[in-house]
Amino acid sequence: MLFGQVANFKTNSKLPIEKFPIAINSNLKKSIRIQSAEEVDDRFHSRLTCKRKTYRYIINNSRYGTAIFRNQETHIPIKLNVEKMKEAVKYFEGEHDFKAFKASGTSSKSSVRTIYKAEIKQMPNERIWIELTGNGFLYNMVRIIAGTLVDVGMGKLEPKEILNIIESKKRENAGKTLPPQGLYLVNVEYD
């Protein structure tokens, strides 16, 4: 499975650009692989010049979970109401102040972000994918949104309460921060 991690660096190397993945991979752990390399404008910055990012949070909603994927997904054994979660996730779309969904100590000056697309996908093998595409995300924002959607799936919140939580701008009104296992940066888009 390929994911959208992008990095940039400056170099004076004479190595042909198509050889960079081979050269870099020979010095990396097997858990990370460089798929391709390209030359970009000096003003390009992999984090600051992106226009859209898509994150996916994977929940294993089976009764017992799995040993093999325990570090790649979050196991929630309580059966979640996916239809309610699908209804709730749509309230995140649009431009909002996501102050209620940011971790304490976040250094961002503004908590206003735009979510272009928010989806819940019921996958085979009792997996639930939460996918969010936006112009940027606050620290732990996706994991807090996922935790809030799990509260909806458990019946602790009604879908329409999402808007009230957003408008409150109070972190204590949102759900808990889910663990990092299951969070993936899937795609990064540039102009």
Alpha-carbon distance of 177 to 181, in angstroms, equals 11
In this structure, are 122 and 70 located in the same domain?
Answer: yes
Asked if residue 88 and residue 137 are part of one domain, the reply reads yes
Both tokens assigned to 65: 């979970």
- Specify whether 68 is located in the same domain as 21: no
The model's confidence at residue 48, banded by pLDDT at 50, 70 and 90, is confident
| Same-domain status, 114 and 168 | yes
What is the residue-averaged pLDDT of the chain? 94
Q: Phi/psi at 105 (nearest 5 deg)?
A: 85, 5
Overall number of domains in the chain: 2
In the structure, what pLDDT confidence band is assigned to residue 5 with cuts at 50, 70 and 90? confident
Percent of the chain with pLDDT over 90: 82
Q: What is the pLDDT of residue 2?
A: 52
pTM of the predicted model, to two decimals? 0.90
Q: For residue 1, what pLDDT is reported?
A: 46
pLDDT of residue 24: 93
Q: Which residue has the tokens 């030359």?
A: 39
pLDDT of residue 156: 98
Per-residue b/e over 62-96, b at no fewer than 16 CB within 10 Å? eeebeeeeeeebbbbeeebebebbbbbbebbbeeb
Q: What is the pLDDT of residue 136?
A: 93
Q: Do 68 and 32 lie in a common domain? A: no
Q: Do 36 and 56 belong to one domain?
A: no
Same domain assignment for residues 103 and 133: yes
Does 30 have pLDDT greater than 90?
A: no
* CATH number of 176's domain: 3.30.70.660
pLDDT tens by residue, 152-180? 999 999 999 999 999 999 999 999 999 99
Indicate whether 124 and 167 sit together in one domain.
yes
Give the separation between CA 158 and CA 169, rounded to whole angstroms. 18
**Is there a single domain that holds both residue 4 and residue 66?**
no
H/E stretch holding 60 reads strand 52-60
Q: What is the pLDDT of residues 131-154, one digit of tens each?
A: 999 999 999 999 999 999 999 999
| Cα(108)–Cα(140) distance, integer angstroms | 12
Domain that holds residue 163: 52-189
